[in-house]
Amino acid sequence: MNMKTYDVMSVDIVCAKKDATIVEVATRIVLGIFNGIPIINDDGTVIGIITRIDILRAIKDGKDINNTPIEDIMTVNPIVIKQNIDIEETIGIMDKNGISMIPVVEDDGRIIGICSRSDILKEILNERFVVIGRKKTATTTIGEG
Protein backbone atom coordinates (compact mmCIF):
# COMPACT_ATOMS: atom_id res chain seq x y z
CA MET A 1 0.00 0.00 0.00
CA ASN A 2 2.85 2.40 0.87
CA MET A 3 0.63 4.99 2.58
CA LYS A 4 1.28 6.89 5.75
CA THR A 5 -1.27 7.94 8.33
CA TYR A 6 -1.00 11.57 7.17
CA ASP A 7 -2.28 10.45 3.75
CA VAL A 8 -5.66 9.43 5.19
CA MET A 9 -6.19 11.25 8.50
CA SER A 10 -8.86 13.89 8.98
CA VAL A 11 -7.49 17.27 10.00
CA ASP A 12 -10.79 19.10 10.50
CA ILE A 13 -11.57 17.62 13.88
CA VAL A 14 -13.77 18.37 16.85
CA CYS A 15 -12.27 18.05 20.32
CA ALA A 16 -13.73 18.71 23.75
CA LYS A 17 -12.39 19.88 27.09
CA LYS A 18 -12.79 17.60 30.11
CA ASP A 19 -15.39 19.83 31.78
CA ALA A 20 -17.90 19.55 28.90
CA THR A 21 -20.99 17.59 29.91
CA ILE A 22 -21.93 14.20 28.52
CA VAL A 23 -24.97 15.64 26.75
CA GLU A 24 -22.87 18.39 25.10
CA VAL A 25 -20.39 15.89 23.72
CA ALA A 26 -23.10 13.39 22.76
CA THR A 27 -24.83 16.11 20.77
CA ARG A 28 -21.61 16.94 18.88
CA ILE A 29 -20.97 13.26 18.18
CA VAL A 30 -24.47 12.69 16.79
CA LEU A 31 -24.64 15.93 14.78
CA GLY A 32 -21.14 15.47 13.42
CA ILE A 33 -21.64 11.79 12.71
CA PHE A 34 -18.47 10.91 14.62
CA ASN A 35 -17.80 7.72 16.52
CA GLY A 36 -16.01 9.63 19.24
CA ILE A 37 -14.26 12.82 20.24
CA PRO A 38 -10.78 13.34 21.67
CA ILE A 39 -10.59 15.17 24.99
CA ILE A 40 -7.79 17.72 25.21
CA ASN A 41 -6.27 20.00 27.81
CA ASP A 42 -5.64 23.71 27.30
CA ASP A 43 -2.49 23.20 25.23
CA GLY A 44 -4.13 20.69 22.85
CA THR A 45 -2.63 17.56 24.37
CA VAL A 46 -4.88 14.49 24.18
CA ILE A 47 -5.85 13.41 27.70
CA GLY A 48 -8.79 11.16 26.88
CA ILE A 49 -11.36 10.02 24.37
CA ILE A 50 -15.09 9.52 24.54
CA THR A 51 -17.05 7.32 22.17
CA ARG A 52 -20.68 6.48 21.52
CA ILE A 53 -20.40 3.35 23.67
CA ASP A 54 -19.05 5.38 26.62
CA ILE A 55 -22.13 7.59 26.38
CA LEU A 56 -24.46 4.61 26.09
CA ARG A 57 -22.84 3.04 29.17
CA ALA A 58 -23.35 6.29 31.12
CA ILE A 59 -27.05 6.26 30.19
CA LYS A 60 -27.35 2.59 31.13
CA ASP A 61 -25.68 3.31 34.47
CA GLY A 62 -28.16 6.10 35.22
CA LYS A 63 -25.69 9.00 35.11
CA ASP A 64 -27.10 12.52 34.86
CA ILE A 65 -25.91 13.22 31.31
CA ASN A 66 -26.92 16.89 31.56
CA ASN A 67 -24.58 17.64 34.45
CA THR A 68 -21.91 14.92 34.52
CA PRO A 69 -18.59 16.06 33.00
CA ILE A 70 -17.12 13.77 30.38
CA GLU A 71 -14.02 13.53 32.52
CA ASP A 72 -16.04 11.08 34.65
CA ILE A 73 -16.59 8.61 31.79
CA MET A 74 -13.79 9.21 29.26
CA THR A 75 -11.07 6.71 28.53
CA VAL A 76 -7.93 8.31 29.93
CA ASN A 77 -4.55 8.15 28.19
CA PRO A 78 -5.95 6.70 24.96
CA ILE A 79 -3.79 5.18 22.28
CA VAL A 80 -2.39 7.87 19.99
CA ILE A 81 -0.21 7.66 16.89
CA LYS A 82 2.18 9.86 14.95
CA GLN A 83 1.32 11.01 11.44
CA ASN A 84 4.30 9.38 9.71
CA ILE A 85 3.63 5.74 10.62
CA ASP A 86 2.65 3.30 7.89
CA ILE A 87 -1.07 2.85 7.41
CA GLU A 88 -0.64 -0.92 7.84
CA GLU A 89 0.67 -0.26 11.37
CA THR A 90 -2.30 2.01 12.08
CA ILE A 91 -4.70 -0.71 10.90
CA GLY A 92 -2.86 -3.23 13.10
CA ILE A 93 -3.24 -0.99 16.17
CA MET A 94 -6.96 -0.57 15.46
CA ASP A 95 -7.43 -4.29 14.96
CA LYS A 96 -5.41 -5.40 17.99
CA ASN A 97 -7.13 -2.95 20.33
CA GLY A 98 -10.65 -3.07 18.87
CA ILE A 99 -10.80 0.67 18.27
CA SER A 100 -12.28 2.54 15.34
CA MET A 101 -10.45 5.86 15.58
CA ILE A 102 -7.07 7.03 16.83
CA PRO A 103 -5.96 10.60 17.59
CA VAL A 104 -2.89 11.62 15.59
CA VAL A 105 -0.43 13.74 17.57
CA GLU A 106 2.77 15.71 17.24
CA ASP A 107 5.85 14.64 19.23
CA ASP A 108 4.75 16.87 22.12
CA GLY A 109 1.31 15.20 22.32
CA ARG A 110 -0.73 17.98 20.70
CA ILE A 111 -3.48 16.68 18.44
CA ILE A 112 -3.22 17.34 14.71
CA GLY A 113 -5.79 14.89 13.35
CA ILE A 114 -7.85 11.74 13.68
CA CYS A 115 -7.45 8.53 11.74
CA SER A 116 -10.57 6.39 11.60
CA ARG A 117 -11.41 3.13 9.90
CA SER A 118 -13.65 5.13 7.56
CA ASP A 119 -10.79 7.49 6.65
CA ILE A 120 -8.63 4.55 5.67
CA LEU A 121 -11.34 2.77 3.69
CA LYS A 122 -12.40 5.93 1.86
CA GLU A 123 -8.83 6.58 0.75
CA ILE A 124 -8.15 3.01 -0.34
CA LEU A 125 -11.50 2.57 -2.11
CA ASN A 126 -11.40 6.00 -3.80
CA GLU A 127 -7.85 5.95 -5.10
CA ARG A 128 -9.07 5.01 -8.60
CA PHE A 129 -11.84 7.63 -8.71
CA VAL A 130 -11.90 11.38 -9.15
CA VAL A 131 -14.79 13.60 -8.06
CA ILE A 132 -15.62 16.40 -10.48
CA GLY A 133 -18.13 19.10 -9.63
CA ARG A 134 -19.56 19.97 -6.26
CA LYS A 135 -21.83 18.41 -3.74
CA LYS A 136 -25.34 19.84 -3.43
CA THR A 137 -26.00 20.84 0.14
CA ALA A 138 -28.54 23.07 1.84
CA THR A 139 -26.01 25.88 2.04
CA THR A 140 -25.09 25.75 -1.62
CA THR A 141 -28.59 25.28 -3.00
CA ILE A 142 -30.49 27.97 -1.08
CA GLY A 143 -31.37 30.72 -3.53
CA GLU A 144 -30.22 28.77 -6.58
CA GLY A 145 -32.61 28.60 -9.54
CATH number, position 106: 3.10.580.10
Q: How far is CA 99 from the centre of its chain?
A: 11
Compute how many other C-beta atoms are within 10 angstroms of the C-beta atom of residue 42.
Answer: 6
> Does 145 fall in a domain?
no
pTM: 0.81
> Does 144 fall in a domain?
no
Q: Which comes out higher in pLDDT, residue 92 or 122?
A: 92
> Does 143 fall in a domain?
no
Cα–Cα distance measured from residue 54 to residue 45, given in angstroms and rounded to the nearest whole number: 21
> Does 123 fall in a domain?
yes
Report how many domains make up the chain.
1
> Does 140 fall in a domain?
no
3-state secondary structure of 51: strand
| Interval 29-81: pLDDT, tens | 988 878 899 999 999 999 999 999 999 999 999 999 999 999 999 999 999 99
Q: Are 72 and 63 in contact (CB under 8 A)?
A: yes
Judged against a pLDDT cut of 60, whether residue 4 lies above it is answered with yes
Query: Residue 131 burial (CB < 10 Å; 0-12/13-18/19+)?
Result: exposed
> Does 67 fall in a domain?
yes
> Does 74 fall in a domain?
yes
> Does 77 fall in a domain?
yes
Q: Which of 26, 91, 86 is CA-nearest to residue 59?
A: 26
Range of the domain at 32: 5-129
